[in-house]
Chain A
Amino acid sequence: MGMATTTTVDFPSVGWFERLGRVMEEYRARHEHIGPIDVTVVWTVIDADGRGTDRHFLTRFELYSMVEAREITEDERFQADFIMETDAQVWQEMIENIRDNGGRPDLEHSLNRLSLPGVPIRVWADDPLGRDMFFRFNQSLQEFVNASVHVPTRYPDLGE
C-alpha cells in the first residue's frame, strides 16, 4: 500500500491523526463501500504525556475523507458531535492490538466494546443525537482507527 510508511509518528499528535486521514484516502474504495461519514469527533487523550496533561484532537469527516485535524482546547470541545475520551495507555493497548491482529482488533478491543460500559472509553455529548452518531458511523470510525496498522507509532513514556 502506497501510504504505508516506515516514518514513525508520535502519538498523540495532529500528525498522527493526519496520517490516519491519509490512509483513509488510500483505502477510499473500502470507505465508499461502507458509506459516507459526516461527523465531527473530538478524541480526548487523558494524561497524554504521563505527567497529567490532557490533550484534545478534533477530526472532521465529510463523505469519505477526514477534512480537518487540529488540536483544540478543552473549552473548544463543544464543536464536536461527540467526544471520545480515554487515557493514553488504553489508546496504546488498542492500537497495538489492532497491529497484532493485522488491522482489526480482537473482540475485546473495538471502539464499541471498549466504550459500552463507559470505561475505559467514554463516548459522550450534550446532545444524545450527537452521541448516537458514534453508532451511526461506527464501522467507518473503526476503519479509521484500524488504519493505525499502517502508521508506525511512537508512544509517550507513561512510566509504570
Chain B
Amino acid sequence: MSNVIENLEVAPVPDWEEVDDDELADLEALKAQFSRDRERWAEFHQQNVDRIARGSFSLAWMDTEGSNWGTQVKPSSRGLTYDDINRPRCYGTIPEKAEYRNMTPRGAVREPYRDRLPDLPEFRLVEKWDVWADNVSTLYEEAKFRQWNATKDVPWTELEPVSEELEKAACQFATFLTEIEFTAGDFPAKWLCRIPNEFHEIKTFLATQVMDEARHLEVFRKRALAGGGGLLHVTPNFEWAGKLLLDTPSHTWGSFFLNLLGEGMILSLFRAGEFLARTHVDREIFRLCLQDESRHVAFGTIEMKNYLESHPEPAKAQEMLHAYADMTEPMIEAMLFEPTVLEPLAILMGGSVDDIDMGMDGVAFLWNVVREEYLQRCDRAGFDRRDTCTLYEDLPWKVA
C-alpha cells in the first residue's frame, strides 16, 4: 500500500495570506465605530437615566396599538409548533421582502422605533425568493424531535474488533466524513447572521443543521478513535470543494451544492453504510446520520424550487444555477475519486483489500444511485439538469 502513496504527486504548499492580527488597531476601529453609533442611542439612554432618577415609570410599552395583542394561538397534538403559531396571518405571513435589517422579531411593535434602530447591512438576504423554503417549518420541528446524542445513543461498548485493514479503511472513511461535516456546518453558520429575522423559520432550521453537522463530525471522530485506530489522512480535493462552497456568494446556490448535490451524495453513502458497516455500531451511526441528511436534502430541494419559481428573472436564475452546477459537479468527482475516499470505500464495500475490485463494483453501483437521485431531486426543484449534467454516467472504472 505504501508504494501507492509514494506515487502520488505532492502538491506545493500554498503561501499563507497576510493576516492582519493587529488587535490594537481592531480595537481602535471598533471604538471609532462605537462612538459614531453612540450618537444614535446615547440621547435616548440619557432620557431613561433621567426618568429613573426622577422616580418616574414609563408604561408606553403597554400601548398595544400596532401590535397584534389578543391573538391566541393554540397547540396541536404535537405541542405548539411553528405551523400553529403561524396560523394567525398577523404573525404567520412571510413578507416578500424584509423591511428590517436588525434583530427585531417579526410581529413585534417596531414601526415607532424605526428611526432608533440600527440598520445592519450584514442581514443581506432580504428577499423571500432568495431564502425561503415552504417545507422549513415541518423540517424544523422534525429536526428538534429527532435529535440524538453521539455520546450515549451509539452503543460504543459493542464495537467489535475487525481486521486491521478494515479498521484502517473505517478510520480513513471516518476521517473524511469528519472533515466534510465541519464544512457542512460552517456553511449554514456563515449565512445565519445574513438572514433577517423576518425569516426566523429559516434561521432556526439552519441552527438545527449546524447542530446536526456538529453531531456528525463528533460521531465520526469518535468512531475513528473508538476502535483503537485513529484519524488517518485528510482529503485535499475535498478542501477545494469546501472552499468553493464557502466562497459561494449566494445562499441558495450554496444550498444547492451542499444540500442537494453534496448531502444527496452523502445520504447515499450513509444508506450504503449498511453495506460498508462491519459492526452494529457502524450501522447504527450511519442510520442515525442518514435521517439528518435527508432533512437537509429535502430543505435544499424545496429552497431551490422556491428560488427558481420566485426569482424576478426566472430564466436568468436557471442560467446562473446551471453555470454554478457546472462548477460544483466536477468538485464532487474530484472529492470522491481521491484515494483517501474511493479506496477505503471500495475496501469496506468489498470486505478486504483482496476484494477491492469487488468493492469497486459496489461503489460503481452506488455512483449510479447518487447520480440518478441527484437528477430526480433537480427535476423536483424544476431544474432540468439531465442534458447538461457533467457527472460521469458510469464511474470510469474497470478491473485492471
Contacts and interface: CB of A to CB of B under 8 A. Distances in A.
Interface stretch (A11-19, A46-54, A128-136, A151-159): A128-136
A40 B94 CA distance: 29
Interface string A122-150: 00000111001101111100100000000
Contacts of B294: 132-133, 135-136
Interface residues of B, number: 33
A38 B141 CA distance: 11
A110 B298 contact: no
Contacts of A34: 146
B216 interface: no
A137 B135 CA distance: 16
A128 B290 CA distance: 16
B272 interface: yes
Contact of B272 (A35, A62, A116): A116
Interface in A34-73: 34-36, 38, 62-63
B377 A36 contact: no
A45 to B, nearest CB: 22
Residue with the highest number of chain A CB atoms closer than 10 Å, among B147, B291, B293: B291
A142 B297 CA distance: 21
Contacts of A92: none
Nearest to A127: B380
A117 interface: yes
B274 A139 contact: no
B373 A136 contact: no
23 contacts: A35-B142, A35-B147, A36-B78, A38-B142, A62-B77, A110-B274, A110-B287, A112-B274, A112-B287, A113-B275, A116-B274, A127-B380, A128-B301, A128-B376, A129-B380, A132-B267, A132-B294, A135-B267, A135-B294, A136-B142, A137-B291, A139-B291, A142-B287
A107 B280 contact: yes
B288 A139 contact: yes
Contacts of A117: 365
Nearest to A112: B274
Nearest to B380: A128
A41 to B, nearest CB: 15
Interface string A69-91: 00000000000000000000000
Contact of B283 (A36, A110, A136, A137): A110
A35 B274 contact: no
B29 interface: no
A112 B271 contact: yes
Interface in B225-280: 267, 271-272, 274-275, 277, 280
B291 A138 contact: yes
A35 B145 contact: yes
B295 A63 contact: no
Nearest to A115: B271
Given A63-B78, A117-B365, A132-B298, A107 B274 contact: yes
Given A110-B283, A117-B365, A136-B142, A129 B275 contact: no
Contacts of B275: 113, 116
Contacts of B377: 128-129
A136 B291 contact: yes
Residue with the highest number of chain A CB atoms closer than 10 Å, among B277, B283, B302, B369: B283
A107 B267 contact: no
A132 B291 CA distance: 9
B298 A116 contact: no
A128 B374 CA distance: 10
A47 B346 CA distance: 36
A81 B116 CA distance: 50
B286 to A, nearest CB: 9
B297 A132 contact: yes
Closest CB pairs A-B (n = 8): A35-B146, A135-B294, A113-B274, A35-B145, A128-B376, A136-B294, A132-B294, A112-B274
Nearest to B146: A35
Interface in B283-310: 283, 287-288, 290-291, 293-295, 297-298, 301-302
Contacts of A112: 271, 274, 287, 290
Contact of B290 (A36, A38, A63, A138): A138
A86 B206 CA distance: 37
A142 B77 CA distance: 24
A17 B376 CA distance: 31
Residue with the highest number of chain B CB atoms closer than 10 Å, among A116, A117, A135, A138: A135
A133 B138 CA distance: 12
Given A36-B142, A38-B142, A113-B274, 20 more contacts: A34-B146, A35-B145, A62-B77, A112-B271, A112-B290, A128-B376, A129-B135, A129-B302, A129-B377, A132-B267, A132-B297, A133-B294, A135-B267, A135-B271, A135-B290, A135-B294, A136-B295, A136-B298, A139-B288, A139-B291
